[in-house]
Amino acid sequence: MIRRQRLASGALALLATLAAGLAFPGAAAAGEPTGAPKVDLVLDVSGSMRTRDIDGGTRMAAAKQAFNEVLDATPEEVELGIRTLGADYPGDDRKTGCKDTAQLYPVGPLDRTEAKSAVATLSPTGWTPIGPALLKAADDLDAGDGSKRIVLISDGEDTCAPLDPCEVAREIAARGIGLTIDTLGLVPNTKLRKQLSCIAEATGGTYTSVEHTDELTDKVNQLVDRAADPVVTPVATEGAAQCAKAPTLKSGLYTDREEFSQQRWYRVDVDPGQELRASVSVGADRAVNPDYGLLLRAVTTHGREIVRGEAAGNGRTDVISTGLRYPKAESDDDDAPAESVCLQVTNAFSATSGVKTTPGMPLELTVDVVDGPSQASDVAAFGLGRGWWLLGVLVLVGFLAGLLWGWVSRWRVAVWRTN
Amino acid sequence: MRFTRVLGAALLALGCAAGPAAADSSPSPSASDGGAGPTRAGTSFRTATEIEQDQRATASASAGDYLYWSFAADAEQRPTVRATVKLPDAHTAQTWQVDVYDGLRRRQACQYGAQTRTAAQGTASIDLTCVLRTVRAWSEPWADDPLPGTYYVRLTAIGLPAADLGLPVSTSVEVGAVNIGGGAAVDGSLAEPLVPGIAVTSERKDEDSSRKSAVLSSIEPDGGWSSGWWSSRWVWTGVGGILAALAGIGGYALTRGTGRPTRVPPGA
């Protein structure tokens, strides 16, 4: 059943990506968020939240106090919702317990009193179905094109295997709705830390371990404020396997997915006298081997490489990125056609064993076509000189010229005089 | 008489020559008087918090976060990025690193400075520094020389034991720049600085300037981007020309003596 659900959600995610790719093939410039920023706070209300180990109170009390303060401080423009997991079913049946997630307060304009009284009713109860809760939370935030953030607060790892919440997070990210999941672990152990940081990593979010109530309040406030910051929303596109079929992009910010050792091709039209600037970053949203690379090439339609950008690195990283510039020379012909430049993106990431390779890793592409630079005809600015050697040479040459001139005129006077 | 004239010319030459030298060694802004900057950091290139030069930006974060700031650097500047990480009381050995990327998200090399440092167990804080190369007004597309535009600073722990993941840390970043002056004035210039999204931004500005919207990067240096035509090379070359002319007059005067030749009888 759970296996089937996972398959279904995977297929859905795939469909969504495809649909997004089809809907905006080479859409115009990157859009800007017009909808309100949305935040869904997902709170673990499982039985273990009863433990008294945060500042002398229960974990639940700490979470409630933090929520009250956060609700007071939430900026006006943010639409906030609250979802619980494990709040209702106290029984032992895993199947039922793992479906136990409910919307406590719907995502929308915030009524602080109402939200607070809803929070006050919570009492620690059931299981910890993180994966299903995340899927539902993603559905809560689905509409609109503002920035979207899930803040997950939990004190125990997911008890509903085999649905790995980490893979769920990756599938949510692959839907292309621009959603970030930040996770907070209350009194964490190694296993919880691993799971929550994996969820955060999968969506470009952050993981924080919390041991005090004020830390929890500060962090959630910080995350809600972060959601309120206006950010450029990238346009979803889908690169092709070869240049001939690649989508044509204009200036803007684009997002795509690229699998391990996959090639992605895009095209950009560059008029004579214009400069193409492209930068690309590929995110390591899962466990990858610590040596990796990225290559971005600008290639003519005939396959000749114009310029490339390369990057390589090792160690822990979120993204690897590189970029290139291609100034196309001016043409004497006024109506010379624009050149179609192919951009090829390849990555040299490799997955550690046991890591799923689909969906692909998030790829972000920035394209700017601007006026071309004024070319340098000399090393120095306008060929001007500088320094004591220059002054010395000029003085010496001037002096010698003066002497010569003087002697020549003296000689001429002498010749004139003798004649 | 002849001697005083030559001496006068020499003095004049000295006075003029001191001019360009003074213009060239413009003072570097002191890093100590950094004003308070933003108190947060972004978590990706897209959300990087913009800071100004000589401003101290702080952010509370968790170990393992990738923190991004961005600043503007103009031609002839040599930026220096300084970052400080205050670690919690109890932690194991952690390796932190500061990386700088240019407006094309290309990693920029640090000439010197401790870019990566490992904090031993129990160390209270670590300082990281990265001194970039001098920003040039122009370079060939195949080079990755620093160009005027946006620069991104990424501060993160690159080596982190699982036990330290998510621990609270507080970080601060400050960017200063030394003005190198005419020595770094190269020929050629970019039509637009290397600011991501500038093609979209300038298009939108033409359409409607009143509408405020999210942009990838909107920072500019104090007083805007330099136009690129002025450099102290004009002063050096101009003064050189004047000196050459004066030296020429001096040389000519040497051959002519003082006014009338002494052997010529008066009234000739």
pLDDT range class, residue B142, cuts 50, 70, 90:
very high
Q: Answer yes or no: is A173 within a domain.
A: yes
Q: Would you call B183 an interface residue with chain A, using a CB distance cutoff of 8 Å?
A: yes
Give me the pLDDT at residue B163, please: 86
Closest-CA residue to A151 (of A159, A140, A161):
A140
Flag whether B92 is in a domain. yes
Q: Does A48 touch chain B (CB under 8 A)?
A: no
State the pLDDT at residue A14.
45
Q: Are residues A293 and A322 in the same domain?
A: yes
Which residues, listed in sequence order, are joined to residue B78 by a DSSP beta bridge? Answer: B178
**End residue of a domain, out of A211, A228, A245:** A228
Domain termination residue (choose one: A207, A228, A249) = A228
Residue A37, min C-alpha distance to chain B (Å): 13
Query: Are residues A260 and A330 both part of a single domain?
Result: yes
Q: B150 near B72, Cβ under 8 Å?
A: yes
Q: How much is the average pLDDT of B101-129?
A: 94
Report yes or no: A224 and A75 within 8 Å, Cβ to Cβ.
Answer: yes
Distance, CA of B247 to CA of B254 (rounded, Å):
10
Q: Count how many domains chain B has.
A: 1
Report pLDDT for B230. Answer: 87
Is residue A267 over pLDDT 90?
Answer: yes
What mean pLDDT do residues B166-190 have? Answer: 92
CATH of the domain at B133: 2.60.120.380
Q: What is the C-alpha separation between A177 and A281, in angstroms, rounded?
A: 18
Q: Are residues A349 and A367 in the same domain?
A: yes
**Amino acid type, B138:** W
Q: pLDDT tens digit string along A172-190?
A: 888 878 889 999 998 778 8
Residue A2's pLDDT is what? Answer: 43
d(CA B16, CA B11): 9
In degrees, rounded to 5, the angle at the alpha carbon of residue A53 between the alpha carbons of residues A48 and A58 is 60
Q: Is residue B259 part of a domain?
A: no
In-domain check, residue A102? yes
Q: What percent of chain A has pLDDT over 90?
A: 45
User: A229 pLDDT band (50/70/90 cuts)?
Assistant: confident
- pLDDT at position A252 over 90: yes
Residue A413 has pLDDT above 90, yes or no: no
Between chain A and chain B, the number of residue pairs with CB atoms below 8 A apart is 270
- One domain for residues A291 and A217: no
What average pLDDT does the segment B175-199 reach?
Answer: 91
* Mean pLDDT across A317-332: 93
Q: What is the ipTM of this complex?
A: 0.86
What is the tens place of the pLDDT at every residue in A294-314?
Answer: 999 999 999 999 999 999 998
Per-residue model confidence (pLDDT) at position B154: 96
Owning domain of residue A278: 235-371
Would an 8 Å CB–CB cutoff place B23 in contact with chain A? Answer: no
pLDDT at B238: 96
Residue A42 in contact with residue A153, Cβ under 8 Å?
Answer: yes
Confidence (pLDDT) at B33: 47
Q: Which residue has the higher pLDDT, B268 or B148?
A: B148
Instruction: For residue B190, give every residue at least 6 positions away whose Cβ sits within 8 Å of its Cβ, in sequence order, or none.
Output: A275, A373, B137, B138, B147, B148, B149
Query: A371: part of which helix (H) or strand (E)?
Result: strand A361-371
Distance separating alpha carbons of residues B82 and B128, to the nearest angstrom: 6
pLDDT band for position B34 (cuts 50, 70, 90): low
At A128, is the pLDDT very low, low, confident or very high (cuts 50, 70, 90)? confident
Mean pLDDT lowest among A186-190, A324-328, B11-15, B249-253 = B11-15
Q: Closest Cα to residue B174, out of B120, B235, B113?
A: B113
Residues A172 and A276 in one domain: no
* Chain B CB within 8 Å of residue A1 CB: no
Does a structural domain hold residue A12? no
Token output for A296? 């971005």
Q: How far apart are CA A318 and CA A357, in angstroms?
A: 17
Residue B83 lies in a domain: yes
Residue listed under structure tokens 């535009």: B149
What pLDDT score does B51 carry?
94
Asked whether residue B240 is assigned to any structural domain, the reply reads: no
Total tally of structural domains belonging to chain A: 2
Task: With respect to residue A334, please indicate whether it lies within any of the assigned structural domains.
Answer: yes
Instruction: Examine residue A308 and state whether it is found in any structural domain, yes or no.
Output: yes
Chain B CB contacts of A364 under 8 Å are: 45-46
**Mean per-residue pLDDT of chain B:** 83
Looking up tokens 């979470």 gives: A63
In angstroms, the CA A13 to CA A6 distance is 10
Residue B202 included in any domain = yes
Looking at the fold, whether A82 and A221 belong to one and the same domain comes out as yes
pLDDT at position A158 is: 79
Let me know if residue A113 belongs to a domain. Answer: yes
pLDDT (tens digit per residue) in A353-411? 888 888 899 999 999 999 999 988 888 999 999 999 999 999 999 999 999 999 999 89
- Here the CATH number for the domain that contains residue A364 is 2.60.120.380
The length of chain A in residues reads 419
Do A213 and A244 belong to one domain?
no
Position B200 in a domain: yes
The answer to whether residue A387 is domain-embedded is no
When CB atoms are compared, the residue of B232, B239, B252 closest to A406 is B252
**Token couple for A235:** 């346009």
Instruction: Please choose, from the candidates B10, B14, B3, B13, the residue with its C-alpha nearest in 3D space to the C-alpha of residue B254.
Output: B3
B209: in domain: yes
Per-residue pLDDT, B137: 92
A186 and A321 housed in the same domain:
no
Q: Are residues A253 and A213 part of one domain?
A: no
* Domain containing residue B159: 29-233
Q: Looking at beta carbons, which residues of chain B come within 8 Å of A252?
A: 197, 200
* Domain assignment of residue B195, yes or no: yes
Amino acid at A295: L
Strand partners, A268: A249, A341
pLDDT at B9: 43
Is 50 exceeded by the pLDDT of residue B5?
no
The alpha-carbon gap from B35 to the nearest alpha carbon of chain A, in Å, equals 22
